[in-house]
C-alpha cells in the first residue's frame, strides 16, 4: 500500500482484487505442500473461513496422458464445450467440462484418435451424453479424484444443443446428396 496508497483492494472470496485505473489484478494466494510424494496446493476460502485443496498437477498429468493415448479429440472437445458454455450461458466450470469430456471419451473408444472430419459426430454424441446424464451435485475430477461441484443443471441446454447438432448434420448430409 505504500507504493500505491490510493489503490482499491478488496477480498472476493477466493481472490484478492487489486483495482487500478484501467485494469484489475486478481491474486489468489496458494500454498504448496507435499504429502505421499504428491504435490498439492491449499488456498483460503473466505466464505467458509477454511483452506481448500486443489491438485492441478494430477489433473494436468491425466490430460497429458489422455492426449497421448487418445489423440487431440479431448482437448478440442473441451475447447468447443467452453465456447458453447460461454455462448449459451451454461453455468459450468472448466474442470467439470474437462471431467465430463474425459468420462465420455473413456466410454466411447470409437472416438479414439479421430480426425476433425468426425468432430460433428463427436459433439452430437457428447451433447446426447450430457443430455442423458442424471442430475448430480458433483463429479470426481479426472486425475485427482477431487470433488467437482455442479453449479447448475446443464441437461436441458445440452438437449437443445443435441437437437441442433442432429439438424445440422442432417442438413449437411442432405446437401451432399444434391446433384448440381
- Inform me whether the pLDDT recorded for 91 exceeds 90: yes
Strand segments (E) across the chain: 8-12, 15-19, 24-27, 31-35, 38-45, 50-54, 138-140, 147-149
- Comparing 178 with 127, the larger pLDDT belongs to 127
Residue 11 CA to residue 140 CA, distance in Å, equals 29
Predicted pLDDT of residue 136: 97
- At 178 the pLDDT is 63
Q: Give me the pLDDT at residue 1, please.
A: 44
pLDDT value at 157 more than 90: yes
- Give pLDDT, residue 84: 97
CB 84 within 8 A of CB 161: yes
Q: Write down the pLDDT at residue 138.
A: 96
Residues facing residue 19 across a β-bridge: 8, 24
Which tens digits make up the pLDDT trace of 37-71? 888 899 988 888 899 888 888 999 999 998 998 88
For the residues 105-133, what does the mean pLDDT come to?
A: 94
Region of 49 (left: φ > 0; alpha: ψ -120 to 50; beta: rest) is left
Query: 10: Cβ–Cβ under 8 A, 6 or more apart, which residues?
Result: 16, 17, 19
Q: Is the pLDDT of residue 99 over 90?
A: yes
Q: What is the DSSP letter of 111?
A: G
pLDDT-derived band at 2, boundaries 50, 70, 90: low
Q: Is 116 exposed, middle or buried (0-12, 13-18, 19+ CB in 10 A)?
A: exposed
Taking residues 76-103, what's their average pLDDT?
Answer: 95
Name the more confident of 157 and 29: 157
Report the alpha-carbon distance of residue 78 to residue 72 in Å, rounded. 10
Confidence (pLDDT) at 87: 95
> How far is 96 from 151, CA to CA, in rounded Å?
10
What is the pLDDT, as a whole number, of residue 177?
A: 64
pLDDT reported for residue 97: 96
Amino acid at each position: 500500500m505504500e507504493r500505491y496508497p490510493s489503490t482499491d483492494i478488496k477480498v472476493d472470496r477466493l481472490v484478492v482484487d487489486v483495482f487500478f485505473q484501467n485494469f484489475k489484478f486478481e491474486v489468489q494466494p496458494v500454498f504448496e505442500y507435499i504429502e505421499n510424494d504428491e504435490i498439492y496446493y491449499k488456498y483460503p476460502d473466505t466464505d467458509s473461513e477454511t483452506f481448500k485443496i486443489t491438485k492441478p498437477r494430477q489433473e494436468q498429468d491425466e490430460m497429458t496422458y489422455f492426449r497421448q493415448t487418445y489423440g487431440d479429440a479431448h482437448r478440442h472437445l473441451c475447447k468447443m464445450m467452453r465456447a458453447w458454455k460461454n455462448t449459451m450461458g451454461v453455468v459450468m466450470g472448466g474442470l467439470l467440462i474437462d471431467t465430463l469430456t474425459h468420462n465420455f471419451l473413456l466410454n466411447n473408444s470409437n472416438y479414439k484418435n479421430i480426425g476433425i472430419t468426425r468432430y460433428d459426430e463427436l459433439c452430437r454424441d457428447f451433447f446426447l451424453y450430457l443430455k442423458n446424464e442424471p442430475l448430480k451435485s458433483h463429479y470426481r475430477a479426472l486425475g485427482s479424484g477431487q470433488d467437482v461441484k455442479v453449479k447448475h443443471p446443464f441437461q436441458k441446454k445440452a438437449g437443445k444443443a443435441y437437437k441442433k447438432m442432429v439438424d445440422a448434420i442432417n442438413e449437411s448430409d442432405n446437401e451432399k446428396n444434391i446433384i448440381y
